[in-house]
């Protein structure tokens, strides 16, 4: 029997906002952004974009913290905060980043079984909300994506111009 695949959209239907807020405060102690409107938007909006890649899954990863053995901490809490902030979590897919993709689409990507086994549902949702709002609201993300695309195009153009210039120099030397 095939196991069901759960998505973020499924999780926000059953995980209360209060639990997600507590998980977020624990995972990102200095972040003061309000994620409740994004949570509600994903929970309440009917899915417009279906996710079609059957092999892509969401994965939460912890990117380690290496303590400084020489550093002295005033309190244990100060050390824990540094540990949480210097080591960081990322939620990505096994194929692509979540950046610059429509929120409705990424909310419909199945969650990896390993992630479901190792993180609470509230933690998964908290990581997801933090990640998709990295560039701000969805419109801000689109603007940032357009700017990034322009920069990429400009850099690519400059590289091509330099390449052509260098090729001309080589031809004239022969």
Buried b (16+ CB within 10 A) or exposed e, 56-68: ebbebeeeeeeee
Residues 102 and 115: their CA atoms lie apart, in Å, by 22
More confident residue, 97 or 102: 102
Q: Which of 35, 30, 32 is nearest to 20 (CA)?
A: 35
Q: Would you say residue 46 has pLDDT above 50?
A: yes
Q: Would you say residue 68 has pLDDT above 80?
A: no
Q: Would you say residue 8 has pLDDT above 60?
A: yes
What is the pLDDT averaged over residues 38-66?
A: 73
104-130: pLDDT as tens digits:
888 888 888 888 888 899 999 998 998
Write the DSSP string, 62-106: EE-----TT---SSHHHHHHHHHHHSEEEEEESS--STTS-HHHH
What is the pLDDT averaged over residues 45-65?
A: 68
What is the pLDDT averaged over residues 76-81?
A: 74
Q: What angle is formed at CA 91 by the lines to CA 85 and CA 94, rounded to 5 degrees? A: 140
146-164: pLDDT as tens digits:
887 888 888 888 898 888 8
Burial class (CB in 10 A: 0-12, 13-18, 19+), 144: middle
| Threshold 0.85, pTM exceeds | no
Q: Would you say residue 17 has pLDDT above 90?
A: yes
Note whether 86 and 78 are within 8 A (CB).
Answer: no
pLDDT of residue 14: 94
Q: Which of 88, 89, 68 is nearest to 79 (CA)?
A: 68
Which residues are registered as beta bridge partners of 91? 60
pLDDT of residue 63: 59
Residues 43 and 46: their CA atoms lie apart, in Å, by 8
């Amino acid at each position: 029997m095939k196991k069901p695949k759960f998505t973020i959209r499924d999780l926000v239907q059953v995980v209360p906002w209060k639990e997600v807020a507590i998980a977020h405060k624990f995972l990102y102690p200095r972040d003061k952004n309000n994620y409740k409107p994004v949570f509600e938007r994903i929970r309440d909006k009917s899915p417009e974009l279906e996710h079609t890649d059957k092999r892509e899954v969401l994965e939460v990863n912890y990117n380690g913290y290496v303590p400084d053995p020489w550093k002295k901490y005033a309190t244990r809490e100060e050390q824990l905060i540094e540990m949480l902030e210097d080591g960081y979590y990322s939620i990505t897919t096994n194929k692509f980043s979540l950046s610059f993709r429509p929120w409705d689409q990424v909310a419909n990507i199945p969650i990896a079984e390993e992630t479901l086994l190792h993180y609470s549902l509230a933690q998964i949702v908290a990581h997801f909300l933090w990640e998709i709002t990295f560039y701000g609201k969805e419109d801000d993300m689109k603007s940032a994506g357009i700017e990034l695309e322009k920069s990429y195009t400009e850099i690519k153009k400059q590289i091509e111009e330099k390449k052509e210039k260098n090729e001309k120099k080589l031809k004239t030397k022969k």
